[in-house]
Structure 1
Amino acid sequence: MTETATAPLIGKALLQKVKELSQLPRRERAKRCGYYTVTKDSQTRVNLTDFYHAVLEARGVPLSPEGSKDGRGREPTYRVSVHQNGQIVIGAAYTKAMGLKPGDEFEIKLGYKHIHLIQIDADKTEQTSVVEDEEE
């Protein structure tokens, strides 16, 4: 069982502190913002995941949007993987979110660690990025 040593910063206070500590390594920033626990044997564990979630929330990025969920099917994760046969399948949830219809065509452009699908139609200005770099 672990105990939280201090109350972690949230909101504008967190963003201000992160800005002040920008020269420090990320683990030290998280620790100084209160995102750590002390174990029974007095070891300090930094909670980077909680820290990143709090920073994103403070910046206004919704991590768990409360949209209209009907309880059926899976929620899109916005990640795909290559299947055994070498294909990448984009599910209906993604095509629906992008407003695509059956028969829509795309040009595939390969980049460094990403794939761009450029919709082929009268309005050629719309570009949809499908697979992006994976973050560490």
Structure 2
Amino acid sequence: MLTGSELLAKVKELGDVGKSEIVRACGYVSNKKDGGERLNFTAFYEALLEAKGVELGGAGKVGKGGRKLSYIATVQGNGNLLIGKAYTALLDLKPGDEFEIKLGRKQIRLIPAGATDEDEE
């Protein structure tokens, strides 16, 4: 699948051919179980927008299964508050990273252990 400047160049090169032919020529095709082909228009258009420098809201902020992150956490029945892998990955957190828990009025703040007051903002 072409991306970036290669994708833009190929689309320009193809000119006035049909949309299906452009998507196919740029490599946005997958095979179905029955042997037929599926044109991946959504992936193509997203790559095209990205190549043109257009950022869609929430770009890069997708969790498991392609779902958009909601930035809402719910206290579980056992009292745990789960943040989730997608969120920790956004901050490049690793197993063993430690945080100081600061409680405020109806809020919980997690401050990386050893951070200074300037680092908190």
Instruction: With the length of structure 1 as denominator, give the TM-score of the two structures.
Output: 0.42
Larger strand proportion of the pair: 1
Larger helix proportion of the pair: 2
Instruction: With the length of structure 2 as denominator, give the TM-score of the two structures.
Output: 0.47
